[in-house]
């Protein structure tokens, strides 16, 4: 039997994690720069730099970078951070390794609200979708949590999953009913529902920046509590944790993060699912580090997929939701095969 490797001293492990985090931040910065450079009109770094710091409405490079690529890059950054943190908190809270924004009805609630905004209020712009999608995602999450909280045991992981599936199915049927009676709503929803960063402007960035920032701070503060929940609720209570309070705070973070990300970029698959598993492979089981690395991995993956979508279909482009599904599915399968399953 091979000898087991001795665990690293805490100081050495911490230094390695910090160095790994710095490397990940550098990779994220490189992807963000590529996002500003790559497109139908490729630009060199010097032109991007000049456009950012010396904007001129008469300069074509300035118009491309500042008016088009910068907003979609910032939306990708914010939505990626939100999805990575939300997926991690969801998986830790529900102890379900397959939890993602679809679990708590977020996507279904946002979709129904956007459909109603298009069909009833005549909303036509991406910025106009944001408040509807955010409110719909929040109300759906509250409904799921309220249904799961019924009974003596409260909102257990199994009840949350079942309530999320039931609410998502009900809201999905309402979306279908509206779309069958309104062809214009169907045409407009198709682009939003596939998940996209293109066509977003700085109004979208301003609308979602604050709720994502607040949700990120709350999520990062939940690391110690999620570590306790990973040991089981009885152990967490024995350690002095207030399980009910943790669930409420986590639910608030999830609503802020998922609602904002879905509102800004549409329902994007696999990012919130796969990123927490990738972070665990790097840092282990400590949720304090998993949350931090997920907040860096997720925007790197999302913005990189957006850049790939601009290249593979040149001179057109594939929407980022399609690319994340194509890239994320084999990555998730590879993780499952290497681990012999998924776990928390």
Q: What is the pLDDT of residues 85-107, one digit of tens each?
A: 999 998 888 877 777 777 778 88
Measured between alpha carbons, how far is 102 from 161 in angstroms, rounded to an integer? 10
pLDDT confidence of residue 325: 87
pLDDT in tens, 299-308: 999 999 999 9
Measured between alpha carbons, how far is 265 from 101 in angstroms, rounded to an integer? 13
Measured between alpha carbons, how far is 272 from 276 in angstroms, rounded to an integer? 7
pLDDT confidence of residue 3: 47
Indicate the pLDDT class of residue 1, thresholds 50, 70 and 90: very low
In the chain, what are the domain boundaries? Answer: 28-339
Residue 200 near residue 72, CB atoms below 8 Å: yes
Percent of the chain with pLDDT over 90: 25
Question: Can you give the pTM of this predicted structure?
Answer: 0.88
Q: Go through 137-164 and write b for each residue having 16 or more CB atoms within 10 A of its CB, e for each that does not.
A: bbbbbebbbebbbeeeeebbbebbbebb
Tokens read off for 283: 């840092």
pLDDT in tens, 260-285: 888 888 888 889 889 998 899 889 88
Domain 28-339, CATH 1.10.3470.10 — does that match? Answer: yes
Instruction: Report the C-alpha dihedral over residues 333, 335, 341, 344, rounded to 10 degrees.
Output: -130
């Amino acid at each position: 039997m091979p000898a087991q490797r001795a665990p690293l001293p805490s100081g050495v492990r911490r230094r390695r994690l910090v160095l790994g985090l710095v490397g990940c931040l550098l990779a994220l910065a490189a992807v963000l720069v590529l996002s500003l450079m790559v497109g139908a009109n490729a630009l060199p770094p010097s032109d991007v730099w000049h456009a950012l710091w010396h904007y001129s409405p008469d300069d074509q490079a300035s118009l491309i970078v500042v008016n088009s690529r910068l907003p979609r890059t910032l939306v990708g950054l914010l939505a990626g951070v939100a999805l990575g943190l939300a997926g991690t908190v969801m998986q830790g809270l529900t102890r379900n390794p397959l939890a993602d924004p679809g679990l708590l009805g977020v996507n279904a609630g946002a979709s129904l609200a956007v459909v109603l905004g298009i069909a009833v209020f005549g909303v036509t712009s991406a910025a106009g979708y944001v408040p509807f999608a955010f409110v719909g995602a929040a109300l759906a999450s509250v409904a799921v949590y309220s249904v799961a909280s019924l009974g003596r045991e409260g909102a257990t992981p199994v009840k949350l999953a079942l309530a999320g599936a039931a609410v998502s199915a009900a809201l999905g049927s309402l979306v279908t009913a509206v779309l069958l009676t309104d062809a214009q709503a169907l045409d407009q929803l198709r682009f939003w529902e596939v998940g996209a960063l293109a066509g977003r402007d700085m109004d979208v960035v301003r609308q979602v920046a604050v709720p994502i920032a607040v949700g990120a701070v709350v999520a990062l503060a939940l690391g110690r509590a999620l570590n306790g929940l990973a040991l089981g609720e009885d152990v967490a209570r024995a350690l002095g944790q207030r399980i009910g309070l943790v669930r409420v705070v986590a639910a608030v973070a999830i609503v802020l993060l998922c609602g904002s990300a879905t509102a800004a970029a549409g329902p994007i698959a696999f990012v919130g699912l796969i990123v927490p598993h990738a972070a665990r492979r790097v840092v282990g089981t400590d949720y304090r580090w998993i949350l931090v690395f997920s907040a860096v991995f997720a925007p790197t993956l999302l913005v990189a997929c957006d850049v790939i979508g601009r290249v593979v279909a040149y001179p057109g482009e594939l929407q980022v939701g399609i690319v994340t599904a194509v890239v994320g599915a084999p990555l998730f399968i590879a993780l499952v095969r290497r681990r012999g399953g998924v776990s928390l």
